[in-house]
Chain A
Amino acid sequence: DAGVTQSPTHLIKTRGQQVTLRCSPKSGHDTVSWYQQALGQGPQFIFQYYEEEERQRGNFPDRFSGHQFPNYSSELNVNALLLGDSALYLCASSFYGYSNQPQHFGDGTRLSIL
């Protein structure tokens, strides 16, 4: 039973570029959440997708956007990259409507902005 998988593992970009990160949820899960974890900090909620729609959004600018596909996988897109976007980006999956079920996290994508 595959857990949450994310790709790529590492990515290096320069300021102003655009990036796409990918996530496949744990088998059977229908909801994907994205978190940003800056160095030395706890993860911060970016947004959550269910039924191909953004259901809730954290305090992140519109440069951060996402998408969910019919097979429940998801993409996180970040435009006009800033140095401050350097972080570990974590994807988590869960069942929608069951907030008492813990989210399962992937190993993350380490994004470095030069």
Chain B
Amino acid sequence: AQSVTQPDIHITVSEGASLELRCNYSYGATPYLFWYVQSPGQGLQLLLKYFSGDTLVQGIKGFEAEFKRSQSSFNLRKPSVHWSDAAEYFCAVGARSSNTGKLIFGQGTTLQVKP
């Protein structure tokens, strides 16, 4: 079955500290991979995406993610967290061969930033 697992439901980091959010997927073939962020009462904003090529992808707001095929993982990282990064983060996968664009999301990780 196709699924996305985000093992950490809630993470708290201090402002200025580094951050890594984990994402593992189960899929028949290598999917397209995405990270979205959701602030309270808002929709989803795309942080970054992986389609092919370099397995380290850069996104907006200083975020990056690394695709590791052998581990079926796509972890999100940021070297120095800002208070404004507090939000809900979702990892998602989509089929390469499908025209439908259906995305499968993980349960999300809530990031809290301590001053």
Chain A contacts to B: CB under 8 angstroms: 4, 31, 33, 35, 40-45, 48, 55-56, 58, 90, 92, 94, 96-108
Contact = CB atoms under 8 A, between A and B. Distances in A.
B105 A43 contact: yes
Contact of A100 (B32, B90, B100, B104): B32
Interface residues of B, number: 29
Interface of A, helix, strand, loop or mixed by DSSP: loop
A99 B99 contact: yes
A98 B99 CA distance: 6
Interface of B: 4, 32, 34, 36, 41-46, 49, 51, 90, 92, 94-108
Contact of A33 (B32, B41, B92, B102): B102
Contacts of A96: 99, 101
B90 A99 contact: no
A97 B96 CA distance: 10
